[in-house]
Chain A
Amino acid sequence: MTLNTETSQKNGVNVQALLDARAALEAAPDAAQFTWRAACEWIDGVHSRSTIEGFFGLGEEQSHRQGFSIDADHPPQFAAEDMGPTPVEIVLSALASCLTAGVASVAENRGIKLRSVRAMLEGDMDIAGILGIDADVRNGFKAVRVTFDIDADASSEDIAALVAQAQKRSAVFDILTNPTAVQVTVV
């Protein structure tokens, strides 16, 4: 097997490894079944800490190189201590990271050198929903806007195509734009 050397990569994405994995998983669909996990512990007030360590994939239990934690809280406007971003801001950040990873990977695959990629995200929300003021207002975002500012060795059409392909292959974009069955139980 030939390995793509660091120097041949433009954006630090090992696209060859991803393409090899894609070919291997096409022949072994069971290995493509992943389960992602997060655990969350209540701390105090509306402050909580999620930890992320292991996941299942490629037919067996896997773990991150180290555990990660993400605090979530609410700002003083919600009478809270502001010990972390709000969960909905973490959702925006997840979308941004997912699309940005896609932009970098697609650019690598298309031989486009990226100089800078900046995404600005906004999510509009009428909090009359979460506060129970108006049953006709949904709890979640009314609209989400993502604006990319990309500096790269490519035409504006090619950059638009990068961003389009990143959306097409993004898990979080799909999670936000399509319904997902969610089951919540108590043990």
Chain B
Amino acid sequence: MKHATAIIIGAGHAGLAMSRALTCRSVDHVVLERGGPGHAWRTERWDSLHMITPNWANGLPGAPYKGPDRDSYMSATAFADSLELYAKTIAAPVRGGVTVTRLTREAQGFRIETDQGPYSAETVVNATGATRLPRVPALSGDIPPGILQITTDRYRNPAALPPGDVLVVGASASGVQIARELQLSGRQVILAVGGHLRLPRRYRGRDIDHWLDVCGISDERAGEIEDLSRARRVPSAQLHGASAVDLNALQALGVEITGRLSALRDGRALFSGGLESLTSSADLKMNRTLQRIDDWIAAMAEPGRITAPDRPEPTVLGTTPRLSLELSGSLRTVVWATGYTADHRWMDMPLFDARGRLRHDGGICPVQGLYVLGLPILRRRRSHQISGAAADTHDLSIHIERHLDACRAA
């Protein structure tokens, strides 16, 4: 059986950042990766996908962005390339093409079953992330067989879909981006909108990420956030490179907006009539965030040097949203942009609460020596973002070193 002191599972940005942190602390380790660095960015996302955060925000520990386009948004493929380069630069000991199938606790640490044979380790870091599997509502089973159903990890581009109208379910980052691209390709898109997070791409002359960064919002600690379990379930913001993808912008392109998909009945999809409560709630929350930014700017030495507040227009629903849609005729495709979930089924240990959610305290699991990275608000608001890896891996690598010292002293 192969052995390493530490095993990191997943060579995405978080796993690689942890590899660098462990190398700095001289902790012998390997990184097990089912594909290569940045596998999901290459193989499980659509062709046109670009990063939601500007290039300057996507630096990794020891490798800040140094290219010429600090303020633009690199493609997912370019980001995967940068991860590959990063892995080489930091000499990360990545074992590619190794799929972990089971993790168990042993007397002297952990046993990691893989499709390439077992490994053992004293400590394990799960860096497989929060977006491993697409989440699809149970009612998808009742969609008529003539309609193509596709999740966002399998969707590639408009041309790969059958001709005809498309129902996109979900209006977070993935849903609004795909709805925009399909509508621009000449199709009629109907977008079913549930709870969503609206933010402008730019505010007061700067990228929204700049403000979230400098005002300290992205660095808020998990313990400072009210109703943490709800905050951890907030979906990704309606952002897309430099283009506006809020509901006003999508309607201007011709996308038809309707409420949350709530049932299928008699060959029809039924939508909630409560959409307006969700859009006004999203506007309120957006304005609350923008107010925090305004307050921060107002407290600065020379607030006058910053562009005046340019609050986005309130969301306007052009026509009364439809309440039902015939699942036949011109509708040929349903895109499920209903979110992703982590996959922790392979961790065969008592780690989960009654609802099946992984229990952890800032990434420290209730089984000693086991850590998790990259989950929403793991330790800070930015934990699941690219920029969250630096501080989280720093903190947890200290904990790992102490754990290993304690193991050896025992």
Interface size on B, residues (CB 8 A): 17
Bound complex: CA of A165 vs CA of B281, how far in Å? 8
A164–B284 touching, CB < 8 Å: yes
Centre residue among B277, B280, B281 by max chain A CB count within 10 A: B277
Bound complex: CA of A165 vs CA of B284, how far in Å? 11
Bound complex: CA of A157 vs CA of B277, how far in Å? 15
A178–B280 touching, CB < 8 Å: no
Bound complex: CA of A157 vs CA of B260, how far in Å? 25
| Residue of A whose beta carbon sits closest to that of B277 | A167
Fill in one digit per residue for B239-281: 1 if any A CB lies within 8 Å of its CB, else 0: 0000000000000000000011011010000101110010011
Bound complex: CA of A165 vs CA of B278, how far in Å? 10
B284: chain A residues at CB < 8 Å are 157, 160-161, 164
Query: Any chain B CB within 8 A of the CB of A174?
Result: yes
21 contacts between A and B (CB under 8 A): A157-B284, A157-B287, A160-B280, A160-B284, A161-B284, A161-B288, A164-B277, A164-B281, A164-B284, A165-B281, A168-B277, A176-B273, A177-B272, A177-B273, A177-B274, A178-B260, A178-B263, A178-B272, A178-B273, A179-B263, A179-B265
18 additional contacts, CB 8 Å, given A167-B277, A176-B273? A143-B320, A157-B284, A157-B287, A157-B288, A160-B280, A160-B284, A161-B284, A161-B288, A167-B281, A168-B277, A168-B281, A177-B274, A178-B262, A178-B270, A178-B272, A179-B262, A179-B263, A179-B270
Query: Any chain B CB within 8 A of the CB of A29?
Result: yes
Query: Any chain A CB within 8 A of the CB of B354?
Result: yes
Centre residue among A157, A173, A178 by max chain B CB count within 10 A: A178
A167–B270 touching, CB < 8 Å: no
Q: Contacts A29-B354, A178-B263: A164 and B273 contacting too (C-beta < 8 A)?
A: no
A161: chain B residues at CB < 8 Å are 284, 288
Binding site secondary structure of chain B? mixed
Within 8 A of B (CB), among A140-169: 143, 157, 160-161, 164-165, 167-168
Interface size on A, residues (CB 8 A): 15
| Residue of B whose beta carbon sits closest to that of A174 | B274
A157: chain B residues at CB < 8 Å are 284, 287-288
Bound complex: CA of A4 vs CA of B280, how far in Å? 33
Nearest first, the 6 closest Cβ-Cβ pairs linking A and B are A177-B274, A177-B273, A167-B277, A164-B281, A178-B262, A179-B263
Bound complex: CA of A179 vs CA of B261, how far in Å? 10
Q: Contacts A143-B320, A157-B287, A164-B284: A178 and B274 contacting too (C-beta < 8 A)?
A: yes
| Residue of B whose beta carbon sits closest to that of A173 | B274
B259–A177 touching, CB < 8 Å: yes
A165: chain B residues at CB < 8 Å are 281
B272: chain A residues at CB < 8 Å are 177-178
A174: chain B residues at CB < 8 Å are 274
A179: chain B residues at CB < 8 Å are 262-263, 265, 270
B260: chain A residues at CB < 8 Å are 178
| Residue of B whose beta carbon sits closest to that of A26 | B354
Bound complex: CA of A29 vs CA of B353, how far in Å? 13
A178: chain B residues at CB < 8 Å are 260, 262-263, 270, 272-274
B320: chain A residues at CB < 8 Å are 143
B265–A173 touching, CB < 8 Å: no
A167–B287 touching, CB < 8 Å: no
A93 → chain B, closest Cβ, in Å?
19
A185 → chain B, closest Cβ, in Å?
19
A167: chain B residues at CB < 8 Å are 274, 277, 281
A23 → chain B, closest Cβ, in Å?
12
Bound complex: CA of A173 vs CA of B288, how far in Å? 25
B265: chain A residues at CB < 8 Å are 179
